[in-house]
């Protein structure tokens, strides 16, 4: 019986060693993964970056101001634009920006009925508009010069002044590059 107990203890020691070795290497791999994710996220949060939180109606006033002072380009992908006086102010500012020489382009979801009137109004002001017909466009994305604005706000009264909505505005070269490439790819894919 003693001999069997010694063998069992030996086997248990070997099993414990194997388990500890596996745990050690698993922890090392996890630490490397965490470190690489941390380094990636740090690359997007340099001290010179600017992030603005735009909850509820703060989004509207921020966007209106960004459009007013745009210098180079405004690119928008919007699920829904519903014309009303406040939205007309945004469109008037887009028109003013275009008249200042700012390139203004808008992509709208084709299946949203209110977007037909929005497209008509925008096009009448010589703003470039395309419909994305995939029935999958649900973006609420704006790129104004060096700032990316993304969140849950549609351009409707409810979204801008009644609902609880959140967005962020980010000025970061890496984020800007990614979102510009995304917009350009979608813009080119639409006939």
Judged by DSSP in three states, 65 sits in helix
The distance of Cα 83 from the centroid of its chain, to the nearest Å, equals 24
Which residue bears the tokens 């209106």? 64
Q: Which helix (H) or strand (E) holds 69?
A: none
Q: Cα–Cα distance between 69 and 55 in angstroms, integer?
A: 21
> What architecture is domain 50-189?
2-Layer Sandwich (3.30)
Structural domain spans, the chain: 1-43, 50-189
Which pLDDT band, with edges at 50, 70 and 90, does 43 fall under? very low
Stretch 52-74: mean pLDDT, rounded?
92
Range of weakest confidence among 56-65, 95-104, 106-115, 157-166? 106-115
pLDDT tens digits along 118-159: 888 888 999 998 878 767 778 889 999 999 999 988 787 788
Q: Cα–Cα distance between 81 and 113 in angstroms, integer?
A: 9
pLDDT tens digits along 149-161: 999 887 877 887 8
**Strand 147-151 vs strand 140-144: parallel, antiparallel, or unpaired?**
antiparallel
Residues sharing a CB contact under 8 Å with residue 96, sequence separation 6 or more, in sequence order: 67, 68
């Amino acid at each position: 019986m003693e001999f069997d107990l010694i063998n069992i203890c030996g086997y248990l020691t070997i099993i414990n060693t194997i388990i500890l070795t596996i745990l050690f290497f698993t922890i090392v791999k996890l630490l490397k993964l965490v470190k690489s994710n941390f380094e990636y996220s740090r690359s997007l949060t340099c001290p010179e970056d600017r992030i603005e939180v735009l909850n509820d109606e703060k989004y509207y006033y921020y966007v209106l101001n960004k459009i007013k002072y745009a210098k180079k380009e405004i690119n928008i992908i919007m699920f829904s634009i519903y014309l009303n006086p406040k939205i007309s102010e945004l469109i008037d500012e887009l028109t003013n920006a275009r008249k200042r020489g700012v390139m203004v382009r808008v992509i709208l979801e084709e299946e949203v009925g209110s977007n037909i009137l929005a497209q008509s109004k925008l096009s009448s002001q010589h703003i470039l508009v395309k419909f994305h017909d995939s029935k999958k466009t649900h973006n609420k994305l704006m790129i104004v010069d060096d700032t990316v604005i993304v969140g849950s706000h549609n351009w409707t009264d409810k979204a801008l002044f009644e609902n609880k909505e959140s967005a962020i505005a980010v000025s970061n070269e890496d984020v800007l590059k990614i979102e510009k490439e995304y917009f350009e790819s979608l813009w080119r894919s639409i006939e």
